[in-house]
Amino acid sequence: MRALVVTIGIVLASVLTVNAQVYHVIKLEGSVTNLNSGKTLAPGDVIQASDRLAFESANASIIAIGDNRTKYILRMPKMENADKPDLILLASQAATAVKSRNAFKTRAFNPDQKEVSDLKQYFGSDRFSIIGDQVNITLSEQKYPLNNSVIIFYYKVKDKPISKRLKYDQQTISIESDKLKEVRGEMINTNEIENVVVYDYSSPQDYKEITSFNLLFVNNADLEKEFNTIIPILRSQKMDDKGIKEYLVDYYVDFYGLTDSKALSAFIDGVLKKSS
């Protein structure tokens, strides 16, 4: 009997904890309506775990953070064999916690790095992102002597192979959005180029593949809005700017992938300075 009471108590505590969870909306893809309030959700809104959410489509989603700073994605679960799925769900059922990479405490974030000696580690092999339209990367002359070789990005657009030699000045290469998106005189309309293969190229007989990844260009104005939605939440919890920067680094890498540490550090410093 006592064991039964303890079990019921644990279950009730678990239910109460779930129902007490709140989600602070940071970013939306598509449109989502909170049926409890009748309001179309926007960044800065707060969702209760028991709120009923109506998703405009199966692809609509919400990025949110909880009061305990856990990061969440709220979206409809994938449903097979459902021609017209019901797109209404409790917030607690739609929410999935995001496993953090803890980038700030690992080699994924190193703003003091003067030069890159391992492009495979720098780019990773999943997704690499650039804040804005361009990033400059200084390479180790010993590892990547640009007087003898060049860095080439190879990818496909509509199944057509594209090869782009990155511009460089001495030992600094530049990755530029407009250069990569220009294909045979036309601009491709995308923020993400999939399956970019990186080569260290000296000659047709002397080249080697370094890594491959999806390349994402992140709109800096949109990113600043996201950070400005997060910062007041963290400040209300008495977090100082050092802690906020660490959180924003992890948030960025968790949702957008690896990026240039110096660029991310400078971007966050600028947003924090303007918001203080």
Flag whether pLDDT at 95 surpasses 90.
yes
Of the pLDDT bands very low, low, confident and very high (cuts 50, 70, 90), residue 5 is: very low
Give the β-pairing of 192-203 and 150-157. antiparallel
Work out the pLDDT band at 79, boundaries 50, 70, 90: confident
Domain boundary among 35, 67, 97: 97
Query: Looking at the structure, do residues 165 and 184 belong to the same domain, yes or no?
Result: yes
104 shares its domain with 234: yes
Q: What is the pLDDT of residue 50?
A: 97
- The pTM score is 0.89
Contacts of residue 178, defined as CB under 8 A and 6 or more positions apart, other chains included, come to 133, 187
Structure confidence at residue 13 as a pLDDT band (50, 70, 90): very low
The first and second tokens of residue 238, run together, are: 């008495």
Mean residue pLDDT across the chain: 91
pLDDT value, residue 2: 53
Domain count, the chain: 2
pLDDT for position 257: 95
- 162-193: b or e for each residue (b if 16 or more CB lie within 10 Å)? bebebebeebebebbbeebbeeeeeeeeeeeb
Q: Which of 97, 129, 146 is the last residue of a domain?
A: 97
Same domain, 58 and 129: no
pLDDT exceeds cutoff 60 at 19:
no
Same domain, 52 and 118: no
Indicate the pairing of strand 52-55 with strand 88-90: antiparallel
Per-residue pLDDT tens over the stretch 201-248? 999 899 999 999 999 999 999 999 999 999 999 999 999 999 999 999
| 30 shares its domain with 134 | no
pLDDT (tens digit per residue) in 131-190? 999 999 999 999 999 999 999 999 999 889 999 999 999 999 999 999 999 988 889 999
Domain containing 192 equals: 100-276
What local confidence, expressed as pLDDT, does residue 266 receive?
A: 97
180-212, pLDDT tens digit by residue?
999 888 899 999 999 999 999 999 899 999 999
In this structure, the strands spanning 71-75 and 95-97 are: antiparallel
Check whether residue 93 and residue 148 sit in a common domain.
no
- Which of 136, 133, 131 is closest to 116 using CA atoms? 136
Q: Are residues 118 and 242 in the same domain?
A: yes
Confidence of residue 106 (pLDDT cuts 50, 70, 90): confident
pLDDT at residue number 143: 96
Q: Residue 14 — very low, low, confident or very high, per pLDDT cuts 50/70/90?
A: very low
The whole-number pLDDT of residue 38 equals 96
Last residue of a domain, one of 47, 75, 97: 97
Note whether 166 and 197 are same-domain residues.
yes
Q: Please indicate, yes or no, whether residues 113 and 173 belong to a single structural domain of this protein.
A: yes
| One domain for residues 259 and 134 | yes
Please tell me whether residues 140 and 269 are part of one structural domain: yes
Number of neighbours of residue 97 by Cβ within 10 angstroms: 10
- Whether 83 and 186 share a structural domain: no
3-class SS of residue 1: coil
